[in-house]
Amino acid sequence: MKDKNDEYWKKTLTSQQYKVLREKDTDDPFKGSLLHSSETGVYKCAACHATLFSSDNKYDSGSGWPSFNDVIDEAAVDLREDKTHNMIRTEIVCSNCKGHLGHLFDDGPTPNGQRYCINSTSLSFEGAKD
Protein backbone atom coordinates (compact mmCIF):
# COMPACT_ATOMS: atom_id res chain seq x y z
CA MET A 1 0.00 0.00 0.00
CA LYS A 2 2.87 2.38 0.70
CA ASP A 3 3.88 2.27 -2.95
CA LYS A 4 0.54 3.53 -4.34
CA ASN A 5 0.84 6.86 -6.16
CA ASP A 6 -1.37 9.95 -6.08
CA GLU A 7 -3.30 8.86 -9.17
CA TYR A 8 -4.27 5.61 -7.45
CA TRP A 9 -5.50 7.45 -4.35
CA LYS A 10 -7.39 10.07 -6.39
CA LYS A 11 -9.27 7.27 -8.18
CA THR A 12 -9.84 5.20 -5.02
CA LEU A 13 -10.82 7.85 -2.45
CA THR A 14 -13.55 10.48 -2.40
CA SER A 15 -12.30 14.05 -2.75
CA GLN A 16 -12.75 14.64 1.00
CA GLN A 17 -10.97 11.41 1.88
CA TYR A 18 -8.12 12.39 -0.41
CA LYS A 19 -7.84 15.82 1.24
CA VAL A 20 -7.70 14.34 4.74
CA LEU A 21 -5.79 11.09 4.20
CA ARG A 22 -3.28 12.24 1.58
CA GLU A 23 -3.07 16.04 2.05
CA LYS A 24 -3.43 16.05 5.87
CA ASP A 25 -6.58 18.17 5.96
CA THR A 26 -8.93 18.02 8.96
CA ASP A 27 -12.66 17.38 9.27
CA ASP A 28 -14.74 20.22 10.58
CA PRO A 29 -15.27 19.71 14.33
CA PHE A 30 -18.58 18.19 15.46
CA LYS A 31 -19.57 17.25 11.89
CA GLY A 32 -17.91 13.87 11.33
CA SER A 33 -20.17 10.95 10.50
CA LEU A 34 -18.57 8.69 13.12
CA LEU A 35 -18.35 11.19 15.97
CA HIS A 36 -21.46 9.96 17.79
CA SER A 37 -21.36 6.36 16.63
CA SER A 38 -21.83 3.99 19.56
CA GLU A 39 -22.13 0.70 17.70
CA THR A 40 -19.94 -2.24 18.65
CA GLY A 41 -17.22 -3.10 16.16
CA VAL A 42 -13.92 -1.92 14.73
CA TYR A 43 -12.76 1.24 13.00
CA LYS A 44 -10.56 0.78 9.96
CA CYS A 45 -8.47 3.02 7.73
CA ALA A 46 -10.79 4.33 5.03
CA ALA A 47 -8.00 4.07 2.46
CA CYS A 48 -6.54 0.59 2.96
CA HIS A 49 -8.99 -1.01 5.43
CA ALA A 50 -6.33 -1.82 8.05
CA THR A 51 -7.95 -2.39 11.45
CA LEU A 52 -7.03 0.47 13.80
CA PHE A 53 -9.42 1.01 16.72
CA SER A 54 -12.03 -0.89 18.70
CA SER A 55 -15.36 0.59 19.74
CA ASP A 56 -14.36 -0.57 23.25
CA ASN A 57 -11.76 2.21 23.28
CA LYS A 58 -13.94 4.97 21.79
CA TYR A 59 -15.20 7.75 24.05
CA ASP A 60 -16.69 11.24 23.83
CA SER A 61 -13.83 13.63 24.48
CA GLY A 62 -15.90 16.71 23.70
CA SER A 63 -13.24 17.73 21.16
CA GLY A 64 -15.46 17.40 18.09
CA TRP A 65 -13.68 14.39 16.59
CA PRO A 66 -13.94 10.65 17.27
CA SER A 67 -11.57 9.86 20.12
CA PHE A 68 -10.02 6.62 21.30
CA ASN A 69 -7.84 5.89 24.31
CA ASP A 70 -5.82 3.19 22.54
CA VAL A 71 -5.22 1.40 19.23
CA ILE A 72 -5.95 -2.27 18.67
CA ASP A 73 -2.29 -2.89 17.82
CA GLU A 74 0.51 -0.34 18.23
CA ALA A 75 2.01 -1.55 14.94
CA ALA A 76 -1.14 -0.36 13.11
CA VAL A 77 -0.16 3.30 13.37
CA ASP A 78 3.00 5.37 13.05
CA LEU A 79 3.55 8.48 15.15
CA ARG A 80 5.32 11.48 13.62
CA GLU A 81 6.29 14.89 14.90
CA ASP A 82 4.08 17.56 13.35
CA LYS A 83 5.27 21.18 13.53
CA THR A 84 2.55 22.72 11.36
CA HIS A 85 0.28 25.58 12.47
CA ASN A 86 2.92 26.93 14.89
CA MET A 87 2.45 23.94 17.20
CA ILE A 88 4.31 20.78 18.03
CA ARG A 89 1.95 17.81 17.93
CA THR A 90 2.10 14.10 17.28
CA GLU A 91 0.55 13.10 13.97
CA ILE A 92 -1.01 9.64 13.66
CA VAL A 93 -0.70 7.88 10.29
CA CYS A 94 -1.78 4.43 9.16
CA SER A 95 1.34 2.28 9.13
CA ASN A 96 0.03 0.32 6.14
CA CYS A 97 -0.78 3.11 3.64
CA LYS A 98 0.69 6.18 5.41
CA GLY A 99 -2.68 7.96 5.35
CA HIS A 100 -3.16 10.83 7.80
CA LEU A 101 -5.57 9.84 10.57
CA GLY A 102 -5.34 12.63 13.13
CA HIS A 103 -3.28 13.54 16.19
CA LEU A 104 -2.33 12.05 19.55
CA PHE A 105 -2.69 14.12 22.71
CA ASP A 106 -1.75 13.45 26.33
CA ASP A 107 -5.08 14.58 27.77
CA GLY A 108 -7.07 11.35 27.50
CA PRO A 109 -8.69 9.22 30.16
CA THR A 110 -7.00 6.45 32.05
CA PRO A 111 -5.40 3.95 31.74
CA ASN A 112 -2.76 5.57 29.52
CA GLY A 113 -3.82 9.23 29.49
CA GLN A 114 -3.74 9.37 25.70
CA ARG A 115 -6.37 10.65 23.26
CA TYR A 116 -6.20 9.45 19.68
CA CYS A 117 -8.13 12.28 18.00
CA ILE A 118 -9.15 10.92 14.59
CA ASN A 119 -10.90 12.38 11.55
CA SER A 120 -14.15 10.56 10.70
CA THR A 121 -13.17 10.86 7.04
CA SER A 122 -10.07 8.75 7.73
CA LEU A 123 -12.12 5.88 9.08
CA SER A 124 -14.60 3.24 8.01
CA PHE A 125 -16.61 1.20 10.49
CA GLU A 126 -17.26 -2.53 10.56
CA GLY A 127 -19.94 -3.66 12.98
CA ALA A 128 -19.41 -6.66 15.21
CA LYS A 129 -20.46 -9.95 13.76
CA ASP A 130 -23.05 -11.80 15.86
The catalytic site residues sit at 117
Q: How far apart are CA 33 and CA 9, in angstroms?
A: 21
Q: How far apart are CA 87 and CA 66, in angstroms?
A: 21
Q: How far apart are CA 57 and CA 53, in angstroms?
A: 7
CA–CA distances in Å: residue 20 to residues 40, 56, 60, 81, 120: 25, 25, 21, 17, 10
